[in-house]
């Protein structure tokens, strides 16, 4: 009768980060690029992948796909903006190694395949294959913590961030 007195069930916000690929997870300071390793764009992590299947690092929404297909902008429900940067200096490859599987506006989870990446094409061009995940709006970040490094499986929880 008094529905307005009932508490609305609030959907919990998933603040977890997930491994974007199976491979070796490294901290941001270990990424072989000073822009990332010195956290000029923000904090995060990277995975050196064993294969080219790249998944979403978060539960959220696709905000943008770079024209050169090497990077995807994502947003979490807590407001944090995430950049998935596929490879080091791969913007110069003009999208050739990247087969993007999502579109702008899509909802994503750790099970969502973002891209199939030709790792051989990246290494043949003398570029790094690190899949870098960066929180770009650090001013909104209260905390970010990696709970795991080393060998990981795609979709595995590897840390969390609070806005």
Count of domains in the chain?
1
pLDDT at 3: 57
Residue 67 has a pLDDT of: 96
Strand ranges across the sheet with 143-146: 16-18, 157-162, 143-146
Show the tokens assigned to 19: 């491994």
Q: Residue 17: which of 151, 163, 115, 147 has the closest Cα?
A: 147
pLDDT of residue 14: 86
Residue 101 within a domain: yes
Q: Which residue has the tokens 């903006």?
A: 81
Q: Judge whether 70 counts as a catalytic residue.
A: no
Mark residue 3 as left, alpha or beta (left: phi above 0; alpha: psi -120 to 50; beta: remaining).
alpha
Catalytic residue among 85, 119, 129, 155: 85
For residues 65 and 105, give the distance between their C-alpha atoms in angstroms, rounded to a whole number.
10
Element holding 49 (H helix, E strand):
strand 43-49
- Residue 13 within a domain: no
Residue 2 lies in a domain: no
Quote the domain boundaries for residue 52. Answer: 20-162
Whether residue 112 lies inside any domain: the answer is: yes
Per-residue pLDDT of the chain (163 residues; tens, 9 = 90+): 555 555 555 567 789 999 999 999 999 999 999 999 999 999 999 999 999 999 999 999 999 999 999 999 999 999 999 999 999 999 999 999 999 999 999 999 999 999 999 999 999 999 999 999 999 999 999 999 999 999 999 999 999 999 8
Provide the CATH number for the domain around residue 67: 2.70.70.10
For residue 8, tell me if it sits in a domain.
no
Give strand pairing partners of 87: none
Q: Is residue 156 part of a domain?
A: yes
Reported pTM = 0.92
Q: Is residue 44 part of a domain?
A: yes
| Residue 3 falls inside a structural domain | no
């Amino acid at each position: 009768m008094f529905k307005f007195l009932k508490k609305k069930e609030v959907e919990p916000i998933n603040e977890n980060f997930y491994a974007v690929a199976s491979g070796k997870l490294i901290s941001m300071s270990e990424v072989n690029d000073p822009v990332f390793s010195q956290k000029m764009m923000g904090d995060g992590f990277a995975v050196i992948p064993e294969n080219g299947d790249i998944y979403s690092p978060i539960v959220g929404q696709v905000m943008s796909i770079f024209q050169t297909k090497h990077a995807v902008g994502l947003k979490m429900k807590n407001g944090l903006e995430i950049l998935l940067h596929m490879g080091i200096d791969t913007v110069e490859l003009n999208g050739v190694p990247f087969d993007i599987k999502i579109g702008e506006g899509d909802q994503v989870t750790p099970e969502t395949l973002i891209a199939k990446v030709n790792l051989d094409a990246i290494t043949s061009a003398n570029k790094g294959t690190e899949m870098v995940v960066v929180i770009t709006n650090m001013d909104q970040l209260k905390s970010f913590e990696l709970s795991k490094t080393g060998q990981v499986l795609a979709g595995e929880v590897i840390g969390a961030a609070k806005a």
